[in-house]
Amino acid sequence: MSTEKDRPDDAIDPSVTPRQIKFAGAVTTVQGLIGVVVAVTLVVRGLAGHEETTISGYGTAAWFGIIGGGVLVGGVALLIGRRWGRSIAMVAQILLLPVAYYLFTSGWPVFGVPLGLAALAVLVMLFSPASIRWLAGELEPER
């Protein structure tokens, strides 16, 4: 009889994915979507003739597109039960914590506080006992 540990990652039954992982995936997906939307907005502004004097609008758009796209892929991977998405989501949240702190200390607590709370909540969910068991392949489908 084959166990879940014997199966490749793409053969995992997504019905055994813990709610915490799915919620973390949803939040991470939204974060990635925001990054992609910022990238598209910067490209549209650049095409419309808006020029930045201190930054490259297209370069910043490329950065947001690459990073946001990667985070989006990681979030979707968690939503559909792929274990490899967890590492992308974890790194994204760890990198968002200093951004939230910067926003908070720069007079933008309306953005910094929700961002920091969301990043902390996702990290807590990614390290919850059910999530760790899922990562180790110890969950069985509910019958």
Closest CA to 121 of 7, 53, 6, 21: 21
90-136 per-position pLDDT tens digit:
999 999 999 999 999 999 999 999 999 999 999 999 999 999 999 98
Does the residue 66 lie in any domain?
A: yes
Instruction: Quote the domain boundaries for residue 66.
Output: 17-136
Does the residue 88 lie in any domain?
A: yes
Does the residue 46 lie in any domain?
A: yes
pLDDT at residue 8, as a whole number: 54
pLDDT at residue 57, as a whole number: 85
pLDDT over 70 at 139, yes or no = no
* Torsion sign over Cα 60, 45, 89, 93: positive
pLDDT at residue 52, as a whole number: 76
Does the residue 102 lie in any domain?
A: yes
Count: domains in the chain = 1
